[in-house]
Amino acid sequence: MDSRRHFLKGVLASGAALAGAAVAPEACARDTHTRPAEALGLLYDSTLCIGCKACVAACKAANNNPAEFSTEVQLWDTPLDTSGYTFNIIKMYRNGTMETKDAQDNGFAFMKTSCMHCADPSCVSACPVSAMVKDPVTGIVAYDPDICVGCRYCVVACPFGIPKYQYDSPTGQIGKCELCRHRYQDGHYSACAEVCPTGATLYGKTSDLLAEAKRRIALKPGSRTHYPRGKIGGPDQSYEAPVGNYLQHVYGETEYGGTQVLKLSAVNFQKMGLPDLPPNSSAATSETIQHSLYGGLVLPVVALGALSFIAKRNVKEEDDDPSQDAQEHTS
């Protein structure tokens, strides 16, 4: 009996060693994916936003989403956050007396919340049935409700808390921004950018949007410049306005491996509700560990060894001496 137990312990220890050996050298093998060259996205400029929420209404209309109420009168759409029926929302930063727009102290500012369309999205990595996919050309993170099994792994995986499940429906699905990809064939683009009166939300190739963002933060605060509206490369709808006191950082350029939705602000991004993320996506690490553990069935072998050891330890061996057991019971 002891020899068998020693054998099982050896198998378990060997399996654990194999698992460790499989993971350790490969733990950082996969690089974080980068944005496609033709990636599409949005540039949101908080200093230009006036909080009109036209983008929220346009998003609802473009995606045929119902109104959500947070007031007793229920006279108009009043969502408090993104949900399975609200893919885009404008939130407000408030501090002290709120006297000055875009001031961190005693000021207020607006921030748009919607899918960031990560270069290396965790929602895509976590989805076991490929209901979440990233288009290799546009980079848009799209969702297929016909494939979705409702596991909600994507909800847990997203560092921005964007995918939301429709819990009030027996056939609920995930709701999130898909950059209005269903409108492209009709010559339209993201509804939020189409209707924004100040150009606070701008649509285009992420590379062009990043260049525009860097142009703005390089300007002297208070000077005047032209701001495009709608779509970069589309009809000229630009207007002249003073330059805001931008933070010298484009949020989304490097965060989490880069995102296709970029943001500018005069107020600290974390105070505006955006997470402080490293330059690498967690999907790169998690996928590497999973593939290392399951590659060659290493993890299943280890698990089987552990279960076998536990089972054998709690089962009486056939070669136990009955007479010895009888003596132990009578003594």
Quick: pLDDT tens for 156-189: 999 999 999 999 988 889 999 999 999 999 999 9
What was the pLDDT predicted at 6?
A: 52
Sign of the alpha-carbon torsion through 249, 251, 257, 259: negative
The CATH topology of domain 40-280 is: Alpha-Beta Plaits (3.30.70)
Calculated CA dihedral for residues 230, 232, 238, 241, nearest 10 degrees: 100
β pairing state of 40-45 and 201-205: antiparallel
- Is 0.85 surpassed by the pTM of this model? no
The pair of three-digit structure tokens given for residue 149, joined into one six-digit string: 């099994």
Other CB atoms within a 10 A radius of the CB of residue 151 amount to 14
Other CB atoms within a 10 A radius of the CB of residue 108 amount to 18
pLDDT (tens digit, 0 to 9) for every residue of the chain, 331 residues total? 555 555 445 544 544 444 454 444 444 558 999 999 999 999 999 999 999 999 999 999 999 999 999 999 999 999 999 999 999 999 999 999 999 999 999 999 999 999 999 999 999 999 999 999 999 999 999 999 999 999 999 999 999 999 999 999 888 899 999 999 999 999 999 999 999 999 999 999 999 999 999 999 999 999 999 999 999 999 999 999 999 999 999 999 999 999 999 999 999 999 999 999 999 998 887 776 655 555 555 556 666 766 776 777 676 655 555 555 555 555 4
Residues 210, 197: contact at Cβ < 8 Å?
no
Domain boundaries, the chain: 2-30+285-330, 40-280
